[in-house]
Amino acid sequence: MEDLIPIYSILIGTAPVFVACVVGIVMAGVYWSRARKSALLMLVACVLQVLLLVAHSVMSGWYIPHLMHEGTSSAIQVLATSWALVSSLLHAIALGLMIWAAFSGRHHAPPPP
């Protein structure tokens, strides 16, 4: 259980983003019948963000520290760099899905008279 304390401390640090994602998931459920496409995009983006928050906490709080005791520094550096690149790409995808959700289903404005 003591091994999980760093994971909890990282999750507490990301609590505002986690709460925002939970609110996004709830709002997607509330607006599902009125804006299905936008709600689906928001739901996927928020679930992806929550999974990334948990994965980042596990990587930073448990996996990398345990790897430091067993692995070489070059292997740790490659893993940390790879994880940073992959998680950044996935965060960008989630943000893109949220932007798409915000503008999905909008109609073109009529031309001015």
Domain of residue 33, residue span: 2-103
Alpha-carbon distance values, 81 to 37, 64, 76, 85, 94 (Å): 35, 12, 8, 6, 20
Residue 113 lies in a domain: no
Interatomic CA distance for residues 86 and 94, integer angstroms: 12
Q: What is the mean pLDDT of residues 48-77?
A: 79
Q: Please list, in sequence order, all residues whose beta carbon lies within 8 angstroms of the beta carbon of residue 61, skipping any fewer than 6 positions away.
A: 4, 6, 7, 8, 9, 10
Q: What is the pTM of this model?
A: 0.79
Supply the DSSP symbol for 106. P
Interatomic CA distance for residues 109 and 79, integer angstroms: 48
Please report the pLDDT score of residue 41 as a whole number: 95
Between 57 and 22, residue with greater pLDDT: 22
* pLDDT band, very low/low/confident/very high, at 33 (cuts 50, 70, 90): very high
Residue 13 lies in a domain: yes
Residue 111 lies in a domain: no
* pLDDT band, very low/low/confident/very high, at 47 (cuts 50, 70, 90): very high
Residue 108 lies in a domain: no
How many domains does the chain divide into? 1
